[in-house]
């Protein structure tokens, strides 16, 4: 496993990990500090290991926060509701990197009340399910409405991925890690016959399971799973589409030396059929085989070494209205060092690399979030949620 921390750091589960939160990236390195006046405004505290934050389209009053232990909590008009929107504690395993890991609202949620979750079950295997909101109470989901869409056995407890989101095409995108352990011993990152180590793209519009979109890149091949959209990933801990351009951003946790952000523009297919290189490569470097041809793979637009951190936390491309100077900037963090950084994509390259000391919440950063207006949030492993605001 990558260092002694590997089973835990990928989603910030080592609560005793010493965290250095200075502005220098942890080792006197890193990009210059950003000059746009921004800071953090606490929204809520007292949560139990928040791992994600989102909201249905058009829902300005509420934030939905995923807790690792299995609950989805609602902050409504600034107040944390005492009753969970949904509590799956009895169905979720929480050891290591396991837990309730992802939440995505159907684009038609206002009409159909449907949403998707991504969790590890009591056996440690991946489950993606659909639920519906309860009749008569928009602040409660119906726990009996679960429709299991997809299950995938997990050979080890780590590298579960966990992100799910509905893309601009209305399809559900599901992130899965390589199955865990160290160095991808099963070769799953490069295998198209397995779902692990991949981003999947499926159609769940029927509400009763999933269909494979006919334009998925490997449809019709006997040597590939047709659900696969992108592959060659170790542990994609958060991915996102830029809502303005459709470009696809993936933060993939590294093993021994490098963390990376992969971006495929909408013009180049937004990740369609892309091979991001794990485990022949880690970042822009050969990993499993010396002298590998890195040009065979889709290389990251940004990497940083373990001199600066040890586990990347992916975020979002900012397209909100409150901070116009940050339009188009992609935000990300390092769990171990606790810093927050950003860059902007221009001509397929990461430019305007910046670090944001005023956005580091103190301690580990397991995730970012966005509200219905596209304004960004930073989550703390200590149970606090902060909104990024202009100063």
The predicted pLDDT at position 112 comes to: 97
Q: What is the pLDDT along the chain (391 residues), one digit of tens a residue?
A: 233 333 344 443 433 333 333 334 444 579 999 999 999 999 999 999 999 999 999 999 999 999 999 999 999 999 999 999 999 999 999 998 999 999 999 999 999 999 999 999 999 999 999 999 999 999 999 999 999 999 999 999 999 999 999 999 999 999 999 999 999 998 999 999 999 999 999 999 999 999 999 999 999 999 999 999 999 999 999 999 999 999 999 999 999 999 999 999 999 999 999 999 999 999 999 999 889 999 999 999 999 999 999 999 999 999 999 999 999 999 999 999 999 999 999 999 999 999 999 999 999 999 999 999 999 999 999 999 999 999 9
Nearest C-alpha neighbor of 225 from the set 252, 250, 251, 201: 201
CA distance 187 to 178: 8
Q: Rounded to whole angstroms, what are the CA distances from 372 to 141, 217, 376?
A: 19, 31, 10
The predicted pLDDT at position 6 comes to: 36
Read off the tokens for 67: 């807790």
Nearest C-alpha neighbor of 240 from the set 342, 349, 331, 365: 331
The SS3 of residue 324 is: helix
CA distance 252 to 238: 8
Compute, in degrees rounded to 10, the torsion defined by CA atoms 242, 245, 248, 250: -40
Label the pairing between strands 228-231 and 236-241.
unpaired
Q: Rounded to whole angstroms, what are the CA distances from 210 to 86, 145, 186, 194, 263?
A: 22, 16, 27, 17, 26
Q: What is Dmax (Cα atoms) for the chain?
A: 62
Nearest C-alpha neighbor of 95 from the set 119, 74, 71, 118: 119
For residue 158, give the DSSP letter: S
The SS3 of residue 87 is: strand
The SS3 of residue 85 is: coil
Q: Which CATH number fits domain 6-390: 3.40.50.720, 3.40.640.10, 2.120.10.30, 1.10.1200.10?
A: 2.120.10.30
The predicted pLDDT at position 290 comes to: 85
Looking at the DSSP bridge assignments, the partners of residue 304 are: 259
CA distance 338 to 360: 6
3-state secondary structure 94-128: CCCCCCEEEEEECCCHHHHCEEEEEEECCCCCEEE
User: HSE (CB half, 13 Å, CA atoms) of 163?
Assistant: 32
Nearest C-alpha neighbor of 336 from the set 311, 302, 372, 306: 311
The predicted pLDDT at position 54 comes to: 98
* Residue appearing with tokens 């030396």: 257
- Per-domain residue ranges for the chain? 6-390
């Amino acid at each position: 496993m990558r260092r002694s921390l590997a089973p835990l750091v990928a989603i910030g589960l080592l609560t005793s990990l010493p965290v250095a939160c200075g502005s220098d990236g942890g080792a006197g390195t890193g990009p210059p500090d950003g000059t746009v006046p921004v800071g953090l405004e606490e929204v809520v505290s007292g949560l139990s290991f928040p791992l994600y934050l989102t909201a249905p389209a058009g829902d300005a009053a509420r934030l939905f926060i995923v807790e690792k232990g299995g609950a989805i909590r609602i902050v409504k008009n600034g107040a944390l509701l005492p009753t969970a929107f949904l509590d799956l504690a009895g169905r979720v395993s929480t050891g290591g990197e396991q837990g309730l890991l992802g939440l995505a609202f159907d684009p038609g949620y206002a009409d159909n009340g449907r949403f998707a979750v991504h969790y590890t079950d009591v056996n440690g295997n991946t489950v993606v399910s659909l639920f519906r909101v309860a009749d008569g109470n928009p602040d409660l989901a119906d726990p009996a409405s679960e429709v299991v869409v997809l299950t995938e056995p997990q050979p080890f407890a780590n590298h579960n991925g966990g992100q799910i989101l509905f893309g601009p095409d209305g399809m559900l995108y599901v992130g899965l890690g390589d199955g865990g352990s160290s160095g991808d011993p099963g070769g799953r990152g490069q295998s198209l016959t397995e779902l692990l180590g991949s981003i999947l793209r499926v159609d769940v519009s029927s509400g009763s399971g999933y269909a494979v979109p006919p334009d998925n890149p490997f449809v019709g091949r006997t040597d590939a799973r047709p659900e696969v959209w992108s592959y060659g990933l170790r542990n994609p801990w958060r991915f996102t589409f830029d809502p303005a351009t459709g470009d696809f951003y993936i933060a993939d946790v590294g093993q021994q030396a490098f963390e990376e952000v992969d971006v495929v523009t909408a013009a180049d297919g937004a990740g369609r059929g892309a091979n991001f290189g794990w485990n022949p490569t880690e970042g822009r470097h050969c990993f499993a085989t010396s002298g590998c041809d890195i040009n065979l793979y889709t290389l990251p637009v940004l990497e940083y070494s373990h001199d600066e951190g040890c586990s990347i936390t992916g975020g979002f491309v900012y397209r909100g209205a409150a901070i116009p100077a940050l339009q188009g900037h992609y935000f990300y963090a390092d769990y171990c060092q606790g810093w927050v950084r950003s860059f902007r994509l221009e001509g397929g390259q990461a430019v305007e690399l910046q670090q944001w000391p005023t956005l580091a919440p103190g301690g580990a950063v397991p995730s970012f979030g966005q509200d219905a207006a596209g304004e960004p949030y930073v989550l703390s492993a200590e149970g606090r949620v902060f909104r990024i605001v202009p100063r």
